[in-house]
Amino acid sequence: MSTTDEPSTTDEPDAPASGGPPVPARGRWTAALNGFLPAVSAALALGLIVGLLMVGAAPGGHHHDGALASSGDGAAPSSSSGASLPGKGKKVTLEFEEGDMYIKPNKVTVPAGADVTVHVVNKGSQAHTLSLLGKTNKQLEPGKSETQHWGVLTESTQAWCVIPGHKDAGMLVEVNVTGGESTKAAGAEAKGTEAEGGTAAAAGSGATGDTANAKIDPAAKPAAGWKPFDPTAPADDGKDVHEATFTVTEKEIEVAPGVKQTRWTYNGTAPGPTLRGKVGDTFRIKLVNKGSMGHSIDFHASKVAPNVEMRTIKPGETLVYEFTARFSGIFTYHCGSDPMIYHMGNGMHGALIVDPPDLPKVDKELVLIQSELYLGPQGKPGDLKKMQAGDYDAVVFNGYHNQYVHAPIKVKPGDRVRVWIDDGGPNENIAFHVVGTIFDTVWKEGAYTLRKGNKEKGGAQVLDLQPTQGGFVEFTLPDAGTYPFLGHKMKNMAAGGLGVFQVG
């Protein structure tokens, strides 16, 4: 098992020994490898739980029965430059309820010039904020309430939860101010906002289809000193109890040549560390949240109460997640905090291998985790709305665009190779294929579907997996040359889901 007892101190994991450029292929793959490959990349919806309740209050009490929250006799609307704003001298109190990915009401109306106070209660399972125009305010813990003074409003505006992804998942309030200045578009993203007391960094996710989102140049090459993610499968350490510390950090990582994103990581990498053991082993994982928002972890290899072991923990908190592996296979783990697609899409996933009994030894054993990239602006988190729409910028192995084209994986001629495949998603499936060979052994989701030496003399061309499914294939590459591997969903291959085995 590969464990990490201390947080990672480097941006990238150690790389395998680097090699020279791939040996030229022959026939129909020559053009692909020598010309097509360097330029191959071209470019849950979450339910918005919202209420239509519109509330306000007159002096001395709260108002709940109409779109206009006001007090007094309601003077006629006039220009905000005049002295007779309809809400001038009046006090309005707005009541809001927050839950996980909703604020209700999500629309309110107040008269221009009114002095607005807000009372908000958090009925969700994790911390949230309610911030006028994304301005700084502290996080509100589950079950807590607070009062905010927004002051005099003269034009329409917005308020939202500044925790990354929450606004675009539905935590947004439209504040319609009537009888004042012309309504202005007031929904500019908060930039670099940080809630008080070390709370979450705000928006900056580019989650509006922003043209400022980073772009991948398919012809670009990594800079000198770049190291690929080491695909070598960890060995089982032989212990019956496997202990590891997973430290959550949010850090800027290169995901394609010249393209950096803020990735949410376990131990500093996206995907996170691969763990390994056998059926009956105990895994004891200490989760330490050093991020700026709530995070969690969900091991698909476990059978535990989700509200206990998989609960979201706040920044600075620690959780010990313990389970016994009862079933064999390669299982996904991922962050389960809302919006789950946003945490997974920003890199919070990885794999745990539980060996089937009597798994034979092979000459080379690898782990490839497929996932998608939904780019936000350079250096920022990914784009939530693109994740929800499935509008990816890249499909990658082990977190980097065309990683193993830039750094082919070396294999000796005739070596028996086992490749564990985990589809980390969050959205795309995979039909894993190696050009130039046939799989003689295939394991998928808990069982062999094909074994070497079968009497039917059968072979397989792909291992097909849906998001968070896993399995492995075994094969040999007998002759010197370059053997591309890919997801045979061709648009995904063309978007960065391609690599090369370099033999000889």
The 10s digit of each residue's pLDDT in 35-45 is 434 443 333 33
Mean pLDDT confidence for 173-198: 54
Q: Does domain 91-178 have CATH number 2.60.40.420?
A: yes
The full DSSP string for 230-250 is P-BPPPP-S-SEEEEEEEEEE
Query: Is 242 annotated as belonging to a binding site?
Result: no
Query: Is 128 annotated as belonging to a binding site?
Result: no
Q: Where are the domains of the chain?
A: 91-178, 241-503
132 beta partners: 159
Query: Is 488 annotated as belonging to a binding site?
Result: yes
Handedness of CA 16, 18, 23, 24 (dihedral sign): positive
Query: Is 343 annotated as belonging to a binding site?
Result: yes
Task: Determine the Cα–Cα distance for residues 351 and 448; give it in Å rounded to an integer.
Answer: 19
* Low-confidence winner among 81-90, 359-368, 469-478 (lowest mean pLDDT): 81-90
Mean pLDDT confidence for 214-223: 95
Domain 241-503 sits in CATH at 2.60.40.420
pTM to 2 decimals? 0.71
pLDDT of residue 166: 87
Task: Determine the Cα–Cα distance for residues 427 and 268; give it in Å rounded to an integer.
Answer: 23
Handedness of CA 64, 69, 71, 76 (dihedral sign): negative
Equal fold, 91-178 vs 241-503: yes
User: How much is the CA Rg of the chain, to the nearest whole Å?
Assistant: 26
Q: How confident is the model at residue 181 (pLDDT cuts 50, 70, 90)?
A: low
Query: Is 161 annotated as belonging to a binding site?
Result: no
| Percentage of residues in the chain having pLDDT higher than 90 | 67
Query: Please, what is the end-to-end C-alpha distance for the chain in angstroms?
Result: 29
pLDDT for 105-150, tens place per residue? 999 999 999 999 999 999 988 888 999 988 877 888 889 999 999 9
